[in-house]
Structure 1
Amino acid sequence: MAQSSNSSFFSEEELDKLKSDCKTDELGAASLLIQKKLEELDNKDFNIAVTGESGSGKSTFINVMRRFQSNHEGAAKTGNTLTTTEPIGYRHPNLLFVYLWELPGIGAKHFPADKYMKKMEFKRYDFFIIISRSRFTENDAKIVKEIKKHQKNFYFIRSKIDGDLNTFEMDGKKVKIAEELDKIRNYFVDSLNKEVIASPTVFLISNFKVNEFDFPTLNKSLPDIIKNSEKEVFVLSLPSTTLEIVEKKRKWLREHVGVWATLSITVRAIPVPGLPFSYNIMISVAGLINCCKCLDLAVTSLQRLANMAGKPVEELKSVVKTPLMGEINKEFVRQMLLHFNHLDISVAEPVGFFPIIGLIFVAGLSFYMSYKPLSDALDDLTENAQRGVKAAFGTD
């Protein structure tokens, strides 16, 4: 279907339908189309397979990445017995296009290695996380070979690293922790090198100590291994546990703001008095809610961060002070837009140029009224998210 020269988001047919609906007072139909387009902008499903042998901590790892405790409704089931017999996908709590898939344990009675690869359909997944709880096994090697076969990327995680150190302590052995961790890491790097994996990335983690060992590095490094078009999905799906992660989220959300503002240019062409401003409001409401979710500032997200940090949620709420933490509805946004520079919404005048996603748009009033307030709101939300990180984890 051909694309309109006036918009990269609507086809000519869609734009004509939008104008027709507005002229005939079919505003409900027009509203649904706009909402559909907003949802499509964020609909980028990305599937991460978490695999390894049974008992390696896959379920607990997924719960930690989703900021869920094991007793929460919707959490991955954990235990010492076989808990997964089919791949189970878990949505990220904030970004519904990101899925963490827990695969059954390879080599278990129901899943001998020779049948595992075919049944798990590795081609379905975009990225892999292999988790091991002990030595590098033959099953680990088979998983690596299957991933290579499909030309996908992976991280190798050695879980339960705190258990190793506790064992040394219980045995009365005096070890230098840093040296011992290097030995473990080098063992897995050497094992992966034997499988012809150049410069493999190995993380040593404890699912119960998310700010120790390699867990913080894991969170920071996930986006860097994904090709550019997919980095955004990973950055926005990470828990906001460091200032660096929050700042990366601001970068990507700034581009989202540009996309939402560009939609306002499209609807400005509709010849219905007052309608562009109505859609600016709807676009802005959707944008602000999305920013709050991505920055972990929604009430449920703050609670999960507090749970991860082992602190009462009131501590985080006490430093997160912004009116954007309240209910974001049409009236709230309408007042925000009306207050913005006391602009007269009936006057359309050019206001300059704004760089958005590598392109430069000639900005009219409709674009400016969406972009600038949302951009300022994003900065405010980011600063509050940074204060929340410091309160929760006391870390940069």
Structure 2
Amino acid sequence: MGGSSSSEQVEETETPSFFTQEELSKLKSDFETGGVEKVKPLIDKKVTDLDKTELNIAVTGETGTGKSTFINAMRGLRSNDPGAAEVGTTETTKEPTGYSHPTLPNVRYWDLPGMGTTLFPAATYLTKMKFKRFDFFIIISTVRFKENDVKLAKEIKRLGKQFYFVRSKIDADLYSMRKDKVVIDEEEELEQMRSDTVRRLVESGFPDPTVFLISSLEPDHFDFTRLNEGLEGDLNNVKKRIFVLALPNLSVEIVQRKNEILKKHVWMFAALSGGLGTVPVPGFSFACDIGIVIGAIVHFRKCLGLDDASLQRLANRAGKPVEDLKATVKAPLLGEITPDVIVRLGWGVAVVTISALEFALDFVPVIGSIFGAGSSFLMTYKILSAALKDLTENAERVVKVAFKTD
């Protein structure tokens, strides 16, 4: 569906950051007139704003279409994991029920009660659901989309929000076909399902609908990846990044996409470090804000699924002992991150030899020109870049072991 605006695309191309060009210019101007102390408040505010950014995804459809299972799959959970949405029960929801992501709590999936009942007639449904709070809607059905699904989609479109048609339980459909026909051509059957669903939606007034065929029990099959790519593509810069970081690690490709996003977070932490007083750290040949460095590394570890809770959830989904996954992670990444750990892992080894020329080639010229090549900014930037590379390689190994991929 719709993509980013032209202004957002310019910002993404010219400044791989969360600052606009105007804000970056102001940072430079403020630094020239007032030094680090004058630019620190804007950097602090930006980091705080990012922490508070919310992503709210509405999931709607009739009872029995698999809304709860879908919500669990998007959060990397099975139905019996702590915090999972309850599945297999009669619809009794009278209000939208929000389920936070286990690692990024500002990402929430909302299970909405069905539309078209006496409690929620179509005419007032979106108002009662507090329509404006949701970033987009996922309309889930099985076999075919019903009249209420179509009415809801038209109303969402009229009000200017994005929506997606998702046909769930495709694994069950194929299983039934195999029992009936013994041998089937899976690709042919999937294409028939898709074309039949699209045809019905065209007849209902949607000229060019996109339909995603998924199994929430097999998120590494069918259209689950296409759906996630579609959702990501229709979000603005900041929310797009949050959405990707919230995806469960089902493939090396997802880990690599997270890495690309976290690379753009590195300079934010480095800029925050550069705006604070530097502190000499025992075992380091330079000074930096060690609290920011450690906090950033812990954040990267969670986003890449290397904390204990994330590894356990992945082990549950893959049906593997969690010890098998942990065995692939380089020690001491799974324990407490301390200055000694950073030194032992060699993340700061070459920092002191970095020249101003090398720094000039980095992708943060405006911020870099503010803090300078010899500052805490550059020290932190290089340490976090090395740490992120190491964590990403470990996360890739974990995924390969979990799903037996090369």
TM range (shorter): 0.7 to 0.9
Deviates more, 1:159-168 or 1:189-198: 189-198
- Residue of 288, 303, 308 corresponding to 2:317: 308
Cα distance between partner residues in 2 of 1:63 and 1:387: 24
Change (3 A) 1:8 1:130: farther
Cα distance between partner residues in 1 of 2:73 and 2:301: 20
Change (3 A) 1:388 1:108: farther
Displacement after TM superposition at 1:354 (Å): 5.3
Displacement after TM superposition at 1:156 (Å): 1.4
SS of the residue corresponding to residue 248 of structure 1 reads helix
Give CA deviations for 1:47-104 in whole Å, capped at 9, x if unaligned. Answer: 1111111211111111111122222332212223014221111111122221111111
TM-score (norm 1): 0.82
Change (3 A) 1:364 1:70: same
Displacement after TM superposition at 1:107 (Å): 3.0
Give CA deviations for 1:304-334 in whole Å, capped at 9, x if unaligned. Answer: 1111222222221121224222212466457
| Counterpart residue type for residue 389 of structure 1 | V
Displacement after TM superposition at 1:264 (Å): 1.9
SS of the residue corresponding to residue 319 of structure 1 reads coil
Change (3 A) 1:368 1:206: same
Cα distance between partner residues in 2 of 1:140 and 1:364: 57
Cα distance between partner residues in 2 of 1:151 and 1:8: 39
Aligned to 2:391: 381
Displacement after TM superposition at 1:296 (Å): 0.7
Change (3 A) 1:383 1:8: farther
- Find out whether 1:66 has 2:85 as its counterpart: no
TM-score (norm 2): 0.80
Displacement after TM superposition at 1:193 (Å): 3.1
- Residue of 213, 218, 238 corresponding to 1:209: 218
Cα distance between partner residues in 2 of 1:224 and 1:338: 34
Aligned to 2:259: 250
- Find out whether 1:168 has 2:177 as its counterpart: yes
- Residue of 357, 378, 382 corresponding to 1:372: 382
Superposition map of 1:1-396 within 5 A: 5=27, 15=37, 38-108=47-117, 110-172=119-181, 174-197=183-206, 199-268=208-277, 280-329=289-338, 332-333=341-342, 340-341=349-350, 343=352, 352-353=359-360, 355-356=362-363, 359=366, 361-362=368-369, 363-365=372-374, 366-395=376-405
* Contact 1:210/1:308, CA 8 A, preserved across alignment: no
Change (3 A) 1:5 1:227: closer
Deviates more, 1:215-224 or 1:132-141: 215-224
Deviates more, 1:301-310 or 1:187-196: 187-196
Cα distance between partner residues in 2 of 1:134 and 1:387: 38
Corresponding residue pairs, total: 375
Cα distance between partner residues in 1 of 2:307 and 2:30: 31
The alignment yields a C-alpha RMSD, in angstroms, of 3.5
| Counterpart residue type for residue 298 of structure 1 | D
Change (3 A) 1:273 1:231: closer
Displacement after TM superposition at 1:46 (Å): 1.1
| Counterpart residue type for residue 55 of structure 1 | G
Cα distance between partner residues in 2 of 1:283 and 1:217: 36
| Counterpart residue type for residue 382 of structure 2 | K
SS of the residue corresponding to residue 327 of structure 2 reads helix
Displacement after TM superposition at 1:247 (Å): 0.9
Cα distance between partner residues in 2 of 1:384 and 1:7: 41
Cα distance between partner residues in 2 of 1:358 and 1:7: 14
- Amino-acid identity (%): 47
| Counterpart residue type for residue 386 of structure 1 | E
SS of the residue corresponding to residue 267 of structure 1 reads coil
Is there any run of 5+ residues in structure 1 with no aligned partner, and where?
20-32
Displacement after TM superposition at 1:388 (Å): 0.9
For CA contacts below 8 A with separation 6 or more, give which structure has more relative contact order. 2
Cα distance between partner residues in 1 of 2:163 and 2:230: 12
| Counterpart residue type for residue 397 of structure 2 | R
Cα distance between partner residues in 1 of 2:27 and 2:39: 16
* Contact 1:87/1:101, CA 8 A, preserved across alignment: yes
Displacement after TM superposition at 1:287 (Å): 0.7
SS of the residue corresponding to residue 130 of structure 1 reads strand
Change (3 A) 1:262 1:314: same
